[in-house]
Amino acid sequence: MNAIQGTAVDIPTADGTADAYLAHPADGDPHPTVLLYMDAFGLRPRLTSMADRLAEHGYTVLVPNLFYRHGRTPVVELPEFIDPGARPEIFERIGPIMQALTPELAMRDAGAYLSWLAERPEAAAGPVALTGYCMGARLALLTAGTYPDRVAAAAGFHGGRLATDAPDSPHLVADNITAELYFGHADEDPSLPVEQIERLEEALTKAGVRHRCEVYPGAHHGFTQADTASYDRAADERHWDALLDLLKRTF
């Protein structure tokens, strides 16, 4: 494993400044880059630890605060252990912030993140990989279709609303995607019912996208997040195996 360095950074965007976390091997060399899209609970120690783990495997990892328009991290104060069932007010605060991040705004931001990474000495030249969690899985899919020349691979885990009936549903970008995709779906996830799983699979297959979509039995929405009540250790380790395998094939 590589010794790593993690730092707080600021990224200029068309709408302000996004605070973010950057992790990379501490050897001074450029490394293949991963843009990590957060879940709704935001940039916090669990996500920085995930970035560190990827950096230990030889990657430069950027985790932006996607909610920067509403303030710097922490945008919403969270308990050390997050149980929305016991604390419904958490989603009452986060919900409107999530809804304000429209696909148009998110993809404008994605362009800023990708441009910033392209100028960083820690980042190797060439396309990047993406990994996203919950809402971040949706953004990973959208980014792969919006910036196909900049994305070599994208993964999404326990994503919701990936293939809806809406005119801006993420699965509709499938025809533009050139990256290889992997999705690990939560088995017990009301935000991604079976019909959406099937619709996503059909869209990716029809578009000729290299992909694999797997349902993790018994796993709930949020299964990778160890600081939440949804955490599933076995499903989380399966996620790491799948993600690292995708990155290894990509880079």
Question: For the segment 227-244, what is each residue's pLDDT rounded down to a tens digit?
Answer: 999 999 999 999 999 999
86: pLDDT strictly greater than 80: no
Give catalytic residue positions: 134, 189, 221
C-alpha distances in Å from residue 154, one per residue of 23, 112, 195: 19, 18, 22
CB atoms within 10 A of CB 165: 8
Q: How far apart are CA 214 and CA 12, in angstroms?
A: 36
DSSP assignment of 186-248 equals EEE-TTS-HHHHHHHHHHHHHTT--EEEEEEEEEETTTT-TTBTT--HHHHHHHHHHHHHHHH
94: pLDDT strictly greater than 80: yes
Mapped to the 3 state alphabet, what secondary structure does 26-41 carry? CCCCCECEEEEECCCC
Predicted confidence band of residue 248 (pLDDT cuts 50, 70, 90)? very high
Residues 6+ away with beta carbon under 8 Å from 237: none
Domains, in order of start, for the chain: 4-250 (3.40.50.1820)
pLDDT at 100: 98
- What are the structure tokens assigned to 85, written together? 């069932």
- For residues 83-106, give the mean pLDDT: 92
pLDDT digits (tens, 9 = 90+) for 21-70: 999 999 999 999 999 999 999 999 999 999 999 999 999 999 999 999 99
pLDDT digits (tens, 9 = 90+) for 194-235: 999 999 999 999 999 999 999 999 999 999 999 999 999 999
- For residues 113-130, give the mean pLDDT: 98
pLDDT at 88: 84
pLDDT at 84: 81
Nearest C-alpha neighbor of 135 from the set 83, 68, 67: 67
Residue type, position 175, single letter: D
For residues 70 and 97, the answer to whether their CB atoms sit within 8 Å is: yes
Q: pTM (2 decimals)?
A: 0.98
CA-CA-CA-CA torsion sign (186, 190, 191, 193): positive
Mapped to the 3 state alphabet, what secondary structure does 97-111 carry? HHHHCCHHHHHHHHH
- What are the structure tokens assigned to 218, written together? 């018994």
